[in-house]
């Protein structure tokens, strides 16, 4: 147990809670979903006040006599969503997906996005933002990877913390979610995620631990799945022992929507049942109303525990000042669009470039734009995190599918169309558009052009894992056909995950734009026309095939909705690039990879020891354009054991010829193993080798240091 000092928010929470009646206490530990016309959870819940101005994902009545505001929560990490709660809502800024922001390797841009997102939440009276996607990308088929930052615990923890810090700086509580191992969507309500507990501490849990330490999120949302046989929301070990015990977390744990089947989750550490109608839909009953009251009445729920649940909620509201809001400051939507644009620019990853990019802006090129609804808009991820932009979507195409999320699975397109932005960025060019309807038809257009820009898109989202890494609707065949007749083909991908790219060797450039948000079309056009020098780096390894990944077959894929599934995450802490280092497999593109229109060199590498490893390197822009590099420091060997860990990174912007000295200090936990028996981190005495490079697959400089053995932390 760590020692935590009591803050003013804790003191006040205790004083206020002591004045509450039991009815008031029970009213705080549930949230009620707003009404969505046509929703599977039914009509408007009678507990929602008639005059509630803004409905939301979760509503908890306030207690005015004690200065406790109503709690109104909203999804999610990419903007303030509105799945129908607020018919008159003018629309919100659709920021880039988290996988795009993860590619920026830039905590600052993530923080600015968090601040902007929270200003928009606050202007609607929403004081809890269900942001902070913190799961690791363990599987490139996971439908929700676009809502997470990366496959690496350190990068994820650092970036998730900055989103939370940005949000909470505006007086809005943020969650981190989904605690933990909610790393696949297939039958997620019946998914048992199996992992070695120590490896869990060194991977997914470390991401949460780092993010929590750096940002003190007011709330943690537990996931839908089980971990080692116990549902996340009722997992005594993960909630009581690790989160609240070992880490001393002081905020509240809310369930995911429809993830509280039993009242006794309260004993395991769950503090609030969210979106209570969803539990009726999934499990046929509410857990934290009558059932929990009965348990309280007969002594099964101790009064101290009920008080603790309430205090945790109150202290988090007080800690960010959500109880003391002045009128919301005006929201500058133009400024927020700029932040979304900058995030999209920094998140775009140039995967391949045989010299085709950037395109010259002063030549009358004949350019064929093919497919991907590029004449309409930019693709968004789908599910609870999908944001409706100001002025509405360019188009919504219903995809559908099994389970409760099937009706929310849509191809959402944000305006403006990439085609339009490309025309503006390349004013001398003459454009032809082909929808990519058939390979043969697209090839006809490609053949008569100087350059082809082929778009490849995928609809990915909550409730669904992809069956494989191909592009849907025959797009791989279309890209292959156009590249076969015109090798000057540039592919732009709008996907939420790595894809297989069977046409990779035939095309001259590949741009991974992810789901870049409402400003994505502009950012893509700027990269293609060279106005922006790409600087994104992959936050997830692109495998050459699923056979290289820990689970070539995804357990449960294809079973009907409702089938229990067990996934054994036997790779343990060796997630993503760590797995590739362990197996020696050659990926399509390694973690950290991303090209630039300039070149960088590294010199004067130096690694020193102490309590941890600190390394310095001089980065020089050796090309003729300004650009940003992301030097990355990795552990490669620890006391005789091969072990790959990202230890540090920094995004540096450099003018041509400019040099900068970068110093990176490793979080000592990244050098350690977690010793579950001791409940501590253990650094073994010995030699530690580190390498510095542009990605996990090509370390250019190396060094070694000796570390003393020690045990520390919890
Ligand atoms: C998602 C959460 C989301 C919640 C509320 C769930 O389906 O898993 O991420 O915050 O819905 O909408």
pLDDT exceeds 50 at position 629: yes
Whether 256 sits among the annotated catalytic residues: the reply is yes
Percent of the chain with pLDDT over 90: 97
Contact 174, 218 (CB under 8 A): yes
pLDDT in tens, 106-119: 999 999 999 999 99
**Nearest atom (ligand 1) to Cα of 224:** 8
Decide if pLDDT at 57 tops 90. yes
**Three-state SS for 335?**
helix
- The residue from 139, 196, 256, 271 that is catalytic is 256
Q: How far is the CA of 16 from the centre of ligand 1 (A)?
A: 30
Contact (Cβ atoms closer than 8 angstroms) between residue 589 and residue 351: yes
Residue 2 has pLDDT above 50, yes or no: no
The predicted pLDDT at position 6 comes to 81
Of the candidates 611, 629, 591, 619, the one whose C-alpha atom is nearest the C-alpha of residue 701 is 619
Place of tokens 């309590």: 611
Gap between the Cα atoms of 428 and 113, Å rounded: 34
Beta-sheet strands, E only, within 626-684: 627-629, 632-638, 641-649, 652-654, 659-665, 673-675, 680-683
* Position 3 pLDDT exceeds 80: no
What mean pLDDT is predicted for residues 465-474? 98
> pLDDT category, 4, cuts 50, 70, 90?
low
Q: How many other CB atoms are found less than 10 A from the CB of residue 506?
A: 17
pTM of the full predicted structure? 0.98
Compute the distance between CA of residue 569 and CA of residue 552 in angstroms, rounded to an integer. Answer: 12
Nearest atom in ligand 1 to the alpha carbon of residue 384 is: 12
Task: Give the angle subtended at the CA of 500 by the CAs of 543 and 583, to the nearest 5°.
Answer: 15
Tokens of 134: 């913190």
**Residue of 33, 35, 57, 408 to test ligand 1 pocket, by largest number of atoms within 8 Å of CB:** 57
Ligand 1 contact via 130 beta carbon (within 6 Å) = yes
Regarding the beta carbon of 85 and ligand 1, being less than 6 Å apart is answered no
Calculate ∠ Cα 417-91-336, nearest 5°.
75
Rounded distance from Cα 257 to ligand 1 centre (Å):
6
- Compute, in angstroms, the gap from residue 389 CA to the centroid of ligand 1: 19
Q: Cα–Cα distance between 294 and 296 in angstroms, integer? A: 5
- pLDDT tens for 221-249 read 999 999 999 999 999 999 999 999 999 99
For residue 109, the CA-to-ligand 1 centroid distance in Å is: 24
**219 Cβ inside 6 Å of ligand 1:** no
Ligand 1 within 6 A of CB of 278: no
Q: Residues 6 or more apart from 360 whose CB is under 8 A from it?
A: none
Residue 708 neighbours by CB distance under 10 Å: 11
Return the higher-pLDDT residue of 651 and 408: 651
Among the atoms of ligand 1, which is closest to the Cα of residue 178?
Answer: 9
User: Kind of pairing, strands 680-683 and 219-222?
Assistant: unpaired
Average pLDDT over residues 640-644: 97
- Any ligand 1 atom below 6 A from CB of 76: yes
Q: Tokens in use for 427?
A: 């004013």
Say how far apart CA 301 and CA 304 lie, in whole Å.
8
- Write down the mean pLDDT value for the chain: 97
Dist. CA 140 → ligand 1 center (Å): 21
Q: What is the pLDDT of residues 266-317, one digit of tens each?
A: 999 999 999 999 999 999 999 999 999 999 999 999 999 999 999 999 999 9
CB atoms within 10 A of CB 433: 15
Tell me, using a 6 A CB cutoff, whether residue 465 lines ligand 1: no
Tell whether the model's pLDDT for residue 1 goes beyond 60. Answer: no
Closest CA to 124 of 96, 86, 169: 86
| Mean pLDDT of the region 40-46 | 91
Smallest CA-to-CA distance from 116 within 393, 316, 335 is with 335
Q: Is the beta carbon of 490 within 6 A of some atom in ligand 1?
A: no
434 — pLDDT class (breaks 50, 70, 90):
very high
Cβ of 266 closer than 6 Å to ligand 1, yes or no, is: no
Task: Report the pLDDT averaged over residues 351-363.
Answer: 97
Burial class (CB in 10 A: 0-12, 13-18, 19+), 552: exposed
């Amino acid at each position: 147990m760590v020692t935590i000092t009591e803050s003013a928010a804790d003191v006040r929470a205790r004083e206020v809670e002591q004045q509450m009646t039991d009815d008031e206490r029970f009213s705080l530990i549930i949230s009620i979903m707003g009404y969505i016309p046509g929703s599977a959870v039914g009509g408007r819940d009678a507990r929602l006040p008639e005059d509630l101005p803004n409905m939301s994902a979760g509503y908890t009545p306030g207690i005015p006599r004690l200065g406790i505001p109503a709690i109104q929560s909203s999804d999610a990490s990419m903007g303030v969503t509105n799945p129908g709660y607020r018919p008159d809502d003018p629309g919100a800024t659709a920021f880039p997906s988290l996988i795009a922001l993860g590619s920026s390797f830039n905590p600052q841009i993530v923080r600015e996005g968090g601040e902007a997102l929270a200003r928009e939440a606050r202007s609607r009276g929403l004081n809890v933002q269900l942001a902070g996607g913190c799961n690791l990308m363990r599987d490139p088929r996971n439908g929700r990877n676009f809502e997470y930052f990366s496959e690496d615990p350190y990068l994820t923890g650092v970036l998730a913390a900055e989103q939370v810090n940005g949000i909470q700086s505006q007086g809005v509580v943020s969650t981190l979610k989904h605690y933990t191992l909610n790393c696949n969507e297939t039958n997620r309500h019946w998914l048992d995620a199996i992992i070695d507990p120590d490896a869990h501490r060194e991977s997914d849990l470390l991401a949460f631990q780092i993010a929590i330490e750096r940002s003190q999120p007011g709330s943690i949302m537990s996931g839908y799945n089980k971990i080692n046989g116990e549902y996340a929301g009722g997992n005594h070990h993960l909630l009581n022992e690790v989160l609240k015990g070992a880490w001393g977390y002081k905020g509240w744990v809310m369930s995911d929507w429809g993830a509280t089947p039993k009242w006794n989750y309260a004993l395991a550490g769950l503090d609030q049942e969210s979106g209570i109608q969803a539990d009726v839909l999934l499990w046929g009953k509410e857990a934290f109303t009558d059932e929990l009251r009965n348990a309280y009445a007969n002594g099964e729920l101790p009064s101290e525990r009920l008080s603790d649940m309430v205090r945790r909620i109150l202290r988090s509201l007080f800690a960010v000042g959500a109880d003391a809001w002045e009128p919301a400051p005006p929201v500058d939507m133009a400024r927020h669009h700029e932040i979304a644009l900058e995030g999209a620019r920094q998140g775009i990853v140039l995967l391949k470039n045989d010299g085709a990019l950037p395109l010259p802006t002063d030549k009358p090129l004949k350019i064929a734009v093919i497919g991907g609804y590029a004449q309409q808009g930019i693709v968004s991820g789908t599910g609870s995190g999908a944001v409706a932009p100001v002025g509405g979507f360019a188009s919504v195409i219903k995809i559908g599918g099994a389970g409760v999320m099937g009706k929310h699975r849509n191809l959402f397109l944000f305006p403006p169309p990439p085609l339009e932005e490309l025309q503006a960025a390349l004013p001398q060019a003459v454009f032809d558009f082909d929808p990519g309807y058939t390979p043969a038809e697209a090839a006809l257009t490609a053949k008569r052009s100087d350059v082809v820009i082929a778009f490849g898109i995928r609809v990915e989202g909550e409730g669904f894992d992809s069956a494989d890494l191909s592009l849907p609707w025959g797009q791989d065949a279309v890209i292959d056909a156009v590249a076969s007749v015109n090798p000057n083909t540039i592919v732009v991908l709008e996907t939420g995950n790595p894809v297989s790219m069977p046409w990779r060797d035939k095309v001259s450039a590949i741009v991974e734009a992810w789901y870049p948000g409402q400003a994505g079309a502009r950012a893509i056009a700027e990269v293609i026309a060279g106005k922006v020098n790409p600087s994104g780096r992959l936050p997830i390894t692109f495998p050459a095939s699923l056979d290289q990944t820990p689970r070539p077959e995804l357990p449960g894929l294809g079973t009907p909705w409702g089938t229990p599934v067990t996934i054994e995450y036997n790779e343990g802490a060796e997630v993503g690039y760590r797995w590739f280092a362990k197996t020696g497999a050659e990926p399509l593109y390694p973690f950290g990879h991303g090209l630039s229109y300039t070149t960088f060199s590294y010199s004067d590498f130096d690694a020193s020891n102490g309590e941890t490893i600190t390394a310095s390197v001089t980065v020089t822009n050796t090309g003729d354009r300004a650009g940003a590099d992301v030097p990355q420091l990795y552990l490669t060997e620890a006391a005789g054991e091969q072990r790959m860990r990202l230890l540090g990174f920094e995004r540096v912007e450099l003018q041509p010829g400019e040099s900068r000295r970068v110093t990176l200090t490793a979080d000592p936990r990244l050098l350690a193993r977690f010793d579950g028996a001791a409940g501590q981190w253990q650094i073994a005495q010995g030699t530690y080798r580190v390498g510095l490079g542009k990605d996990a697959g090509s370390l250019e400089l190396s060094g070694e240091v000796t570390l003393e053995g020690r045990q520390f932390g919890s």
